[in-house]
Amino acid sequence: MGKNVLNAPGSGRLPVPPAAVPVPENSVLTYRVAERIWPDLPDHRLNTLAAHIGHEFHHHHAQADAEVAGRVLLAMMKQVSAYTPAELL
């Protein structure tokens, strides 16, 4: 699946511009926080972040993606000694 694409049940893939998907103001966007915490990584895609923390997973499966996003979040919190995700913002 390409970048900026949402899966729509029953209708295949729909290209969606990044700004079309609203993000709540207090959301922690894993890749944006990772850009600050690990600036030297080649990119900040989920599979790259997973490899960086030593976690293997089956990419593009909702449960696996959610699990690794949580593991990455916890690793970033540990890296900066944060007690809550809000401290990463």
pLDDT averages per 10-residue partition of the chain, 89 residues: 42 54 73 92 92 87 89 94 90
What residues does 14 pair with on adjacent strands?
Answer: 6
Q: Is 15 helix (H, G, I), strand (E, B) or coil?
A: strand
pLDDT at 15: 55
pLDDT at 25: 72
Q: What's at 84, amino acid-wise?
A: T
Q: Tell me the longest C-alpha to C-alpha distance in the chain.
A: 44
Number of domains present in the structure of the chain: 1
Whether 51 is in a domain gets the answer yes
Domain coverage including residue 80: 24-88
- Measured at the CA of 26, the angle between CA 24 and CA 30, to 5 degrees, comes to 90
pLDDT at 28: 73
pLDDT at 35: 93
Whether 9 is in a domain gets the answer no
Whether 78 is in a domain gets the answer yes
pLDDT at 7: 42
Whether 2 is in a domain gets the answer no
Q: Which backbone phi and psi does 15 adopt, to 5 degrees?
A: -70, 135
Whether 66 is in a domain gets the answer yes
Whether 34 is in a domain gets the answer yes
- Which residues have CB under 8 Å from 3's CB, separation 6+? none
Whether 3 is in a domain gets the answer no
Whether 7 is in a domain gets the answer no
